[in-house]
A and B are shown apart, each in its own frame.
Chain A
Amino acid sequence: MITAGVDAGNKFTKVVIIRDGEVISRDQLPSGFDRRQSAFKAFKRALSTAGLNEDDVQKVMATGAGRSEVDFAGGTVTEVGAAARGSIHVIPESRTVIDVGAEEGRALKMDETGKVLNFTISDKCAAGAGSFIEMMSQALEITPEEMGSLSLQAVQTVPMNAQCAVFAESEVISLIHSRVPKADIARSVFNAMAGRISSLVRRVGLNKELAMIGGMAKNPGFVRELEKDLDTKIFLTENPDFVSALGAALIAAEKIS
């Protein structure tokens, strides 16, 4: 059985195609202005990689902020439902999941089947999402990836008090002018963001089987600060930004069977 999941995110649209529960193709494109077109292009590219036609896919499920715009999908599932289903598949021992993408951070607790028991989302404040890191890396004149590895060399954390991304940027600029090393500023930014995400995790209830997905899971600096803040090891997986699309594809397969 071949099914597909489309995660129409705020910044990137991800597509995963699975055959009998195994990933056979994945692709992603910037979501851009026309999410429907981006989703369809990514879907076609993923099909091409797998050597498949549209007719070979028995069901497509869409998730993500733009899921309602994916009109070629046969159904939709919430970001939380897809994240839980995908996480339990790739990290079976996980029971609490942190998902930090470009514009949203969310935390959820689930049972051993991937059914969501408790969830909370933070999409009001940009200081809890990946876009915040992009802004801060621009201020530091480095890439977000460089910021992640650089923060691991920091020797101190400077407390950042601003709750808002705009004011936080002012704080970062002040630190630059105060000649605080870039590595220390990078760690301080991740520390501030980790504090916001940790509060979401504590709201749903922290347990030791904690996994992280979403694009920010690829940032070692942020993951380390989050582990320190929550005082626990975080399970990671390859391709963490595709986990929700995988979850949608798995749910599509379950809807058929």
Chain B
Amino acid sequence: MIANYGYKDGSGEFFISIDTAKCAQCEAKPCVEACPEKILVIFTDDYDDEVIGVKEEHRKKIKYSCGPCKPITEKRNLSCQKACPSGAIVHSW
């Protein structure tokens, strides 16, 4: 399953997409600790797979929550993507 967390507003589309089929295969889930803003959470989904998701309180402000990893003047450093061994995390912006 591809789970899209985020929103679209007048300034653009801001979604983090998680491939839960890939995510469920990874036991360590290092992305959760790697995220400096601690926006990711591990939970059991409707199909009893242990996967990650974006915390409820970050979903409506994800553009800003992820902002520190996406500086305009420097190279992006997406810690969650780097930590994910299976390439299950995609940012739309």
Contact = CB atoms under 8 A, between A and B. Distances in A.
Given A123-B60, A124-B60, A204 B4 contact: yes
Contacts of A121: 4-5, 59
Contact of A81 (B5, B46, B59): B46
A134 to B, nearest CB: 21
Contacts of A77: 46
A118 B45 contact: no
B7 A122 contact: yes
Contact of B7 (A81, A124, A164, A204): A124
Contacts of A116: 1, 46
B10 interface: yes
Dominant SS among interface residues on chain B: strand
A117 B8 CA distance: 21
Given A122-B8, A125-B7, A203-B15, A117 B47 contact: no
Contact of B1 (A119, A163, A196): A119
Interface string A41-82: 000000000000000000000000000000000000110110
Interface residues of B, number: 16
Contacts of B1: 115-119
B4 A164 contact: no
A195 to B, nearest CB: 11
B2 interface: yes
Nearest to B47: A115
A232 B83 CA distance: 41
Interface residues of A, number: 23
Given A117-B1, A119-B3, A120-B15, A164 B10 contact: yes
B60 A163 contact: no
Given A117-B2, A118-B1, A203-B4, A78 B45 contact: yes
Contacts of B15: 120, 203
B27 interface: no
A80 B46 CA distance: 9
16 contacts: A77-B46, A78-B45, A78-B46, A81-B47, A117-B1, A118-B1, A118-B3, A118-B4, A121-B5, A121-B59, A123-B60, A124-B59, A124-B60, A163-B10, A164-B10, A196-B8
